[in-house]
Structure 1
Amino acid sequence: MAVGPALVRDRNAWQHLEAFVVCAVATILITRSFLGATGYPKIGSGGLHIAHMLWGGLLLLVAQLLVLSYLGPITKPLAAVLGGVGFGLFIDEVGKFVTADNNYFYRPAVAIMYVVFVVIVLAGRLVHDRRPRGPAEQLANAAAIAAEGVVAGLTKSRRSVANRLLMRAAKGGADSNMTSALSTVVALCPPGRANPHIFQTLRHRLAGLLPQSWVLVWLTNILLIGQAAVGIIGSLLVLLDNPHGAELIAGFGQLVSAAVAGVLAIVALILQWSEDRTAVLRWSRYAALVTVLFTEVFDLVEQEFAGLTGVGVGLFALAVIALHERRSRRPLIAKRPESPEGPQTST
């Protein structure tokens, strides 16, 4: 069997990355709220001040040591949570390190944090979605599940996932002796207790609360148009006040990106009168992505944490669109085996 890639992608990496980002963002919001409510106290006396960035570094160290020191099913989830809290405490003080006067209240600091998290998420998607996993990665992930099973046993679902990975690895050309040996290990693992990932469980429950009606997509586009209108009005008010420097750039950037997002959402709204639901979801996604990746960056420069409302609108829109994309694919998958002629090809 050919040697696999030096860096093997974990099939559960997105769950861990999701936990990391959620914990980091929640830590920033809780920290800022606590410091604001208590009058921004200092830990230390005289010329000493123990910044909470140091506590963040300590938690990042603990998370790193966990990953380096232990195996088992809880190591990575725990490291993701501790690392997320630590990174949140660290990045919260970014304003002190990009200004000459160590200004914690530097206005663009919130936008800088937001861009960092956007880059983390986009980089994670790029790494894990750019190509399908090869037989070596399928085999390695099955081996990782088997290792978990040795430590804590395997549930029926985890055992089934491992067997599917081994089957795909075998079909892809993986060594038959190795797949057979791992299959034996998976079969010998004792039964384990179900312990669903808390963020995955929360996501599924939230998805279950959303209705399946396409009226929700229509309302989402209306919401995106309203958010774009708010952004346009806010940017015009800023630009009419004769801004300079960063404020001028932020105001102009918000105006252009909000206008683009609004136009894209209007196109999606018009297309809902047709039967091309794929096009509706595509244009709606474009509008939501422009809102999240561009408009709200400039908005956060101006409004700081008050601009998180717009971020919430964009993320809600992306969640609705992703949910309907998954639901719209299910009927096609179900109907595919009914075709006696197999897949159609075009010349």
Structure 2
Amino acid sequence: MFPSRRPPRPEPGWLRRRVPTRVVDGAAYLQAFVLSGVVTVLAVRAYLQAAGWPQLGGGGLHIAHVLWGGLLMAVGLGIALVFLGGGPRTAGAIVGGIGFGLFIDEVGKFVTARTDYFYAPAAGIIYAAFALLVVLTQAVRGRTRLTPDERIANALDLTLSGVPGGLTDRRRIAVLRLVQGAGPTVEAAMVQLLDAVPRREPPPVRFWRRWADRFGRLVVWLTERRWLVWPVVVYLLVEPVVTVVAVVLDVATGELDREREWGAVIGVLTAALITAVLSVRGAVRLRRDRVGAFRLFKLALLVDLLFGQVFNFTVNQFGAVVNLAVDLFLLGVVTAEHRRLSRELPAEPR
């Protein structure tokens, strides 16, 4: 006879894996953190250069702004830990982002033995740190959808945070959308809970918000213009080739003999070569596969943004911000055209 097989014993609760509940607006908080940090670094560098690189302190003391950065990061974390709701989380993300910007701006002092604030690769390190944060933000934004339990938990969090000051109609609609499909019992309970929360009128639109919205609409409008597509394609084909030729000419004429960061120059050259190959392949595929061609153009820009610009900032310091802005705009144009072409593809038969 075969021995009887006993059913597996359930694991104790403390042995089960506990997955933290994700916040529905997590990507927005990360984005606020990154943007405030980037603005802080650029503002600090611009101010210090305009003021002649002043120092706070005297009598042998030097109060580095990395200390203020650590303090502001602690304040931002404290705001998010102490207060409830999306507003304090956003405020904590912005304050923490400003602190992180002050902190990372002095990275050159902590990766060199001589504590050199002007260490050339520091600009590339700063850019790489923010690029990784942007990738993390996009990964959080593009992850799988929230589970039903997470949607209910976020709906409750939004509702309870509105108990002291009330909820706007927009917030109420967002809560009901979160629990949609969770079952009649949950939906009815949420409606009753919302009825118990006071209503609040939406706050007036700030003047800076109007200008930000107008600028955002202008950028979207520009990136969707069809007449911009072909100049962008030409630029993608010409720009990396010009970079490669310029480096070769500098090597031939001896201009690069004074360059201290040869590794960064090789990185710029490698990124330009990869971008050129991808762009040429995309141009070759334009006639027979436009969707695939613009996918290659998009990949070429991503290679330059995530790899080439790290070395570009090392070589050109913060003068590379202009090139970064151009690349971001080109990525917007290419992405908009790729999406348009993808929507026009005929649906595959099942």
TM-score interval, normalised by the smaller of the two chains: 0.7 to 0.9
Counterpart-to-counterpart distance in 2, 1:329 and 1:144: 37
1:307 is aligned to 2:320: yes
Structure 1 residue 5, shift from structure 2 partner: 5.7
Counterpart-to-counterpart distance in 2, 1:278 and 1:21: 31
Cα distance per residue 1:256-281 (max 9 Å; x no partner): 2112112322333444445x443243
Structure 2 gaps, min length 5: 1-15
Q: How many residues align?
A: 330
1:111 is aligned to 2:124: yes
1:47 is aligned to 2:60: yes
- Indicate conservation of the 8 Å contact 1:218/1:269, yes or no: no
In structure 1, the partner of 2:6 is none
Structure 1 gaps, min length 5: 171-175, 337-342
1:93 is aligned to 2:102: no
Counterpart-to-counterpart distance in 1, 2:125 and 2:83: 34
Q: Alignment RMSD, CA only?
A: 3.2
In structure 1, the partner of 2:188 is 180
Correspondence list, 1:335-346, <5 A = 344-345=349-350
Which of 281, 288, 292 does residue 267 from structure 1 map onto? Answer: 281
Structure 1 residue 289, shift from structure 2 partner: 0.1
Counterpart-to-counterpart distance in 2, 1:144 and 1:344: 43
Counterpart-to-counterpart distance in 2, 1:322 and 1:147: 39
Which of 188, 193, 197 does residue 202 from structure 2 map onto? Answer: 193
TM-score (norm 1): 0.82
Structure 1 residue 66, shift from structure 2 partner: 0.5
Correspondence list, 1:204-283, <5 A = 204-210=216-222, 212-237=224-249, 239-240=251-252, 241=254, 247-274=261-288, 276-283=289-296
Structure 1 residue 318, shift from structure 2 partner: 2.2
The answer to which of 101-110 and 145-154 deviates more is 145-154
Correspondence list, 1:52-63, <5 A = 52-63=65-76
- Indicate conservation of the 8 Å contact 1:239/1:252, yes or no: no
In structure 2, the partner of 1:81 is 94
The answer to which of 221-230 and 307-316 deviates more is 221-230
The answer to which of 7-16 and 45-54 deviates more is 7-16
- Indicate conservation of the 8 Å contact 2:223/2:336, yes or no: no
Identity of aligned residues (%): 34
For residue 225 of structure 1, what is the amino acid of its counterpart?
A: L
TM-score (norm 2): 0.82
- Indicate conservation of the 8 Å contact 2:291/2:342, yes or no: no
